[in-house]
Amino acid sequence: MTTVSNGVNVQALLEARDALKGAPEAAQFVWKATSKWQNGVHSTITVKEFYGLGEERAHRKESVFDADHPEVFAAEDNGITPIEYLLVGLASCLTAGVASVAQNRGIQLRSVEAKLEGTHDIRGILGADSDVRNGFNDIKVTFNIDADASREDIEALVAQSQKRSAVFDALTNPTNVTVEVA
Amino acid sequence: MTTVSNGVNVQALLEARDALKGAPEAAQFVWKATSKWQNGVHSTITVKEFYGLGEERAHRKESVFDADHPEVFAAEDNGITPIEYLLVGLASCLTAGVASVAQNRGIQLRSVEAKLEGTHDIRGILGADSDVRNGFNDIKVTFNIDADASREDIEALVAQSQKRSAVFDALTNPTNVTVEVA
C-alpha cells in the first residue's frame, strides 16, 4: 500500500481500467469544442460538454479561450496563437501522467515543472516555400522534477507518462481530421 | 482592390511572405510554454514569450491556463482536459485561416462558427487494451459560415484554410517530440 499523496485517485483509475476492459463501448469518449470568429484572426473557443461512459456530460464550468496572432503578424494579440495551444495540451498531459504514475509507484512528488519549446518555420503557413511544413518542426519538453526518488526513477516516471499520453500520441502520430461546411 | 473588411491585414502578410522568401532565418519561430503541477492531475500552464524575426518577443499579456481531468475520472475538474486543448488550437487555427483567405479573396464574412468533435477510446491511456491508441481516433470539424459568397466559394475558403493551417498539419502529420529530465 502506498502512503504517498500526490492527489491522484489511482485506485479509481485502476478500477476503471478493469471495468472498461469488459465494456469497450463505455470507453468511447467524444471531446467537443465550439468556436466563434470575432474579427481579424481573433476567435473565441468554448469547451463545456463531452460524451463518455455512455452519456452526455459536462465540465463543472464552461471554459472560454481567446486565440489571435501576435502584433508581429499585424494582428491584435488578443490571445495566444492557435499552435501555442498544442503546447498547453502537451505540457498538461505529460504532467498529469507524471503525477498519476508517481502515485501508482509510491513516489512522493514535491514539484513538477516543464519548459516547452516548439520550433516553427513560418514560411510554411505564409506559402513562402512549399517545401516547408505548416506545423512545428519539432518540440522539446524539459522536466524539472523534485521528488522522493532517484534520478533513474524520475526518468522512468517521465518515460511512462509519455507512453500513456493522449496528447503526446496525437502530436507524434497522424490523426484523421475531417473538415466540412454545414 | 478589395473593399471587404474582415479585420485581417493581408497586405502585411503578403509583404512578410515576400520578405521571408529571402530571409529564411527570420522565419524561424520558437513558441514556448511553461507548466507547473498543482495537485493530482491539475496543472497550470503559462504562455508569454516567444522567439521570432531574429529576436526574443512576448505577447502583450501573459496567459495562464488550467488543465485537469473531469470528475468522471475521479479528478476535480479544475480546467479542461489536456486533449481538449488540441481542439481549441484546431478551431482557432482554421478560423484564422478562413478570415485571412476571405480577406485576400475579397469575401466579406458575417459570421464563422465551428463545432469540433474528437472521438477518443480511453482504453488506450488507461492501458486497458494495447491495440488502442492513446490519442484521438478521429476529429471532425463542421463550419457554419455566413458570408457574401456562394457555397462553392465558402467551401473553397475552408479548403484553403486547411491547406495552410499549422495546427491541422500538426495533428494530421507526425512531429518529433523530445522529452527530457533536466
pLDDT tens track for B125-154: 999 999 999 999 999 999 999 999 999 999
Per the CB < 8 Å rule, is B36 touching A135?
A: no
Which residues numbered 82-141 in B keep a CB inside 8 Å of some CB on A?
82-96, 98-100, 109, 111-129, 133-141
Query: For residue B138, how many other CB atoms are within 10 A of its CB?
Result: 13
Residue A47 covered by a domain: no
Per the CB < 8 Å rule, is B31 touching A180?
A: no
Q: In what order do the strands lie in the sheet with A138-147?
A: B55-67, B42-52, B28-39, A109-121, A138-147, B176-181
Residue B71 covered by a domain: no
Which residues numbered 5-24 in B keep a CB inside 8 Å of some CB on A?
6-9, 12-13, 16-18, 20-21, 24
CA–CA separation, A120 and A122 (whole Å): 6
CA–CA separation, A109 and A128 (whole Å): 46
The number of folded domains in chain B is 1
Is B130 exposed, middle or buried, given 0-12, 13-18 or 19+ CB atoms closer than 10 A?
A: exposed
**CATH number of B147's domain:** 3.30.300.20
| Of A1-5, A108-112, B7-11, the least confident | A1-5
Tell me the pLDDT band of B3, cut-offs 50, 70 and 90: confident
CA–CA separation, B152 and B159 (whole Å): 11
Residue A150 covered by a domain: yes
Query: What is the rounded average pLDDT for all residues in chain B?
Result: 96
Residue A157 covered by a domain: yes
| Of A132-141, A150-159, B14-23, the least confident | B14-23
Residue A37 covered by a domain: no
Residue B123 covered by a domain: yes
Give the structural domain span for A147.
81-182
> Is the pLDDT confidence value at A2 over 70?
no
- The 3-state DSSP class for residue B2 equals coil
Residue A52 covered by a domain: no
Stretch A33-54: mean pLDDT, rounded? 97
Per the CB < 8 Å rule, is A30 touching B90?
A: no
Per the CB < 8 Å rule, is B33 touching A111?
A: no
CA–CA separation, B8 and B34 (whole Å): 30
Residue A13 covered by a domain: no
Query: pLDDT, tens digit, for every residue of B42-73?
Result: 999 999 999 999 999 999 999 999 999 999 99
CB B66 within 8 A of CB B92: no
Q: What pTM does this model have? A: 0.97
> % helix / strand / coil in chain A, to the nearest 5?
35, 35, 25
Q: What is the pLDDT of residue A110?
A: 97
Q: What is the pLDDT of residue A145?
A: 98
CB A68 within 8 A of CB B8: no
Query: For residue B159, how many other CB atoms are within 10 A of its CB?
Result: 12
